[in-house]
């Protein structure tokens, strides 16, 4: 199958840390992407992982475990502007992107 699973919605507090998980099930794998999408706007690129491990980019980090079909996006020092949907997408063996439905992150003061 080509299922991408991520939580529908999460809530966190300003200044805190939140981890958004993503699991995928495909026979071929060519990388895992995370995109941010504010309501009514286009998705924008956050990260790309193709090897196992943690990639850190400022307040945002992304982790991949290929053997477990698992990734997470870690957001630190949350700000109100981080309220958005976070989309996980897996690039399959044909180099096509399979998208999850997205996780809506709500930040409370």
Yes or no: say if 62 and 53 are a contact pair by the CB < 8 Å rule. Answer: no
Please tell me whether residue 101 binds other proteins under the rule CB under 8 A: yes
Kindly tell me which of 75 and 91 has the beta carbon lying closer to other proteins. 91
Please tell me whether residue 102 binds other proteins under the rule CB under 8 A: yes
Phi, psi of 91 (to 5 degrees): -90, 120
Yes or no: say if 47 and 60 are a contact pair by the CB < 8 Å rule. Answer: yes
Please tell me whether residue 41 binds other proteins under the rule CB under 8 A: yes
Among 48, 60, 74, 83, binds other proteins (CB under 8 A): 48
- What whole-number distance in Å separates Cα of residue 32 and Cα of residue 46? 11
The binding site for other proteins (CB under 8 A) comprises: 4, 8, 30-31, 33, 40-45, 48, 87, 89, 91, 95-97, 99-102
């Amino acid at each position: 199958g080509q299922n991408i699973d991520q939580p529908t919605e999460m809530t966190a507090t300003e200044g805190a840390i939140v981890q958004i998980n993503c699991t995928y099930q495909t026979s071929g794998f060519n990388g895992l992407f995370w995109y941010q999408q504010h309501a009514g706007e286009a998705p924008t690129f956050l990260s790309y992982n193709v090897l196992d491990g943690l990639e850190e980019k400022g307040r945002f980090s992304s982790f991949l475990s290929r053997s477990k079909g698992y990734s997470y996006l870690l957001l630190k020092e949350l700000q109100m502007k981080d309220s958005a949907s976070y989309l996980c997408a897996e690039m399959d063996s044909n180099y096509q992107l399979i998208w999850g439905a997205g996780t809506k992150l709500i930040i409370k003061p």
